[in-house]
Amino acid sequence: MDVLISDIVFHPFVDLMIVLSALAGISFVIFLAGFLSGLQHLYKIDENADLLKTYRARVTWGTVLLVFFMVVWEIIRWIAGFFM
């Protein structure tokens, strides 16, 4: 715990890294909620096919958010590279 606190105080990007990691984790959970829910349709064709739109939307949003947070982190690292 002392290492985490000293990292937060002395290294400015640890805060951003923790926040972006948490947001990426939430995005992955959104992705999994859509992906794993849609898998049951492959085994049970009698499921309602209209629900697949919702599952696809979750998978799409989860993927878009994951890519967005990764790009934000890389842009922050790229800009910080000019000053360090």
Non-local (6+) Cβ contacts of 8 within 8 A are 14, 15, 18
Helix ranges, the chain (H): 2-10, 13-43, 52-81
Q: What is the pLDDT of residue 39?
A: 73
State whether residue 1 is helix, strand or coil. Answer: coil
Q: In which domain, by residue range, is 8 found?
A: 2-81
pLDDT digits (tens, 9 = 90+) for 14-62: 788 889 999 999 999 999 988 888 777 767 766 667 777 888 899 999 9
Q: How many domains does the chain have?
A: 1
Q: What is the pLDDT of residue 26?
A: 95
Q: What is the pLDDT of residue 82?
A: 86
Q: What is the pLDDT of residue 47?
A: 64
Predicted TM-score (pTM) of this structure: 0.75
Q: Is the dihedral of CA 59, 23, 17, 2 positive or negative?
A: negative
Q: Cα–Cα distance between 78 and 66 in angstroms, integer? A: 18
